[in-house]
């Protein structure tokens, strides 16, 4: 688990973010999760060793940025969530306000509605910390 305290970015509590990300592993079998800035800066993560966290987070931010650009071109508003499905895993990226994204990779078969609800709870709790 890596947590980078960004000097109180938006008043977020790094220890709370760390606990929230770790809970995704316990509750949903997450193999990787992160809270990142929209420009790909790692804020907090629960990513396995051997993974270059910065590459992972930058690519996640790039995917969400590409979706945002496509939505802007269509004038349909900003994307709130993105799902990427592979043979055995699914990645969910959820907008966490104007500045952040939460990412979670889980095995196929996890209840996605419950995962999405849990990610929204984490987002809301971190935003409450910012108030």
Every domain of the chain and the residues it spans: 2-130
HSE-CB at 50 with a 13 A cutoff on CA atoms is 2
Query: Residue 113 has what pLDDT?
Result: 97
Return d(Cα 109, Cα 122) in angstroms, integer.
Answer: 21
- DSSP one-letter string for 108-122: TTS-HHHHHHHHHHH
11 pLDDT higher than 70: no
Helix axis angle for 112-130 and 14-28, nearest 10°, is: 170
For the segment 12-28, the average pLDDT, to the nearest whole number, is: 89
The topology (CATH level 3) of 2-130 is: Beta-Lactamase (3.30.450)
73-122 tens-digit pLDDT: 999 999 999 999 999 999 999 999 889 999 999 999 999 999 999 999 99
Q: Is the separation of the CB atoms in 6 and 43 below 8 Å?
A: yes
Read off the pTM. Answer: 0.86
Residue 129's pLDDT is: 54
pLDDT of residue 39: 96
CA–CA distance, 7 with 13 (Å, rounded to integer): 10
Q: Is 85 left (phi over 0), alpha (psi -120 to 50) or beta?
A: beta
Is residue 2 scored above 50 in pLDDT?
no
Please give the structure tokens belonging to residue 130: 């910012």
């Amino acid at each position: 688990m890596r947590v980078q305290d960004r000097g109180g970015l938006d008043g977020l509590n790094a220890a709370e973010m760390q606990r929230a990300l770790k809970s995704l592993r316990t509750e949903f079998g997450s193999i990787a999760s992160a809270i990142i800035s929209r420009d790909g800066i790692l804020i907090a993560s629960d990513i396995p060793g051997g993974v270059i966290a910065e590459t992972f987070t930058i690519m996640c931010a790039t995917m969400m940025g590409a979706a945002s650009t496509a939505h802007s071109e269509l004038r349909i508003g900003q994307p709130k969530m993105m799902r990427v499905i592979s043979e055995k895993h699914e990645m969910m990226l959820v907008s966490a306000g104007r500045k952040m994204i939460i990412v979670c990779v889980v095995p196929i078969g996890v209840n996605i509605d419950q995962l999405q609800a849990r990610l929204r709870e984490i987002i809301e709790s971190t935003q409450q910390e910012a108030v």
